[in-house]
Amino acid sequence: MNNMIQNDFTYGEHDEHFFNQGFNAYCRTDIQQKMLEDEVRTDFYRDAIYNNKHLFKDKIVMDFGCGSGILSMFAAKAGAKKVFGVEASDLAKTTKKNVKKNGLDHIITILEGKVEEIELPGVDKVDILLSEVMGVGLIHEGTLQSLVIARDRFLVSHIVMYIVLRWIRLLDNEKQNSQ
C-alpha cells in the first residue's frame, strides 16, 4: 500500500489517481494522516486562523471539503460560534469521531454530502467559507465549481479562504522566479 501512495503522490501519477478516485482520493485515513504530519502545511493553516481570531470570533463557519476536520477544529478553537464541516466522502464518519474525541462536537457539525445537496441545520448562511483547495484536485474533482456553488448558496457577503490565497501566492512566486 505504501508503494502505491509513494508512486501516486511522489512520482507524478496523481493525475490518474484523481481521475479514477474523485472525492475518494482523499478519504483514505493514511492520506489524511500524511497531510496532518506535514508540519509546514498544518502549521500554516493553524497560524492563518489563530493569527486572525478576530475574524472567527462568534462567526458561523463552513469548512468546505473538511477531510480530517483539522481546519474546522482550528476555527472552533479560534472562537467560531458554529462550524459546519462538509465532506462528500465516507471520511465524514471518521471526522465526526475525531471532532467528538477533541471535545468540539458542541461547536462543530460534520455534514456528509456534496455542498450542492446539503442543508445547514438551523441556519441559512455562513459568515466564513474556509477551504483547502490546492493542487490537482481543484480541477479534476470539480472542486472549483463546487466552491463557487458553496459561496453562492451559503456565504453572507465576504469570503475568507487563506488556503487559496497561499496557493495563488505560490503561483506568483513561481512566475517571478521564471522571469
Of the candidates 37, 87, 141, 174, the residue annotated as catalytic is 141
Q: Do residues 109 and 85 touch, judged by C-beta distance below 8 A?
A: yes
Phi-psi region of 141 (alpha: psi -120 to 50; beta: other; left: phi over 0): alpha
Of the candidates 37, 117, 132, 174, the residue annotated as catalytic is 132
Phi-psi region of 79 (alpha: psi -120 to 50; beta: other; left: phi over 0): left
Cα Rg of the chain (Å, integer)? 16
**Rounded Cα gap, residues 137 and 50, in angstroms:** 26
Question: What is the bridge-based pairing of β-strands 60-64 and 82-87?
Answer: parallel
Residues recorded for the chain: 179
Does residue 141 have an active-site annotation? yes
H-run or E-run covering 125: none
Does residue 16 have an active-site annotation? no
Q: Which residues are catalytic?
A: 132, 141
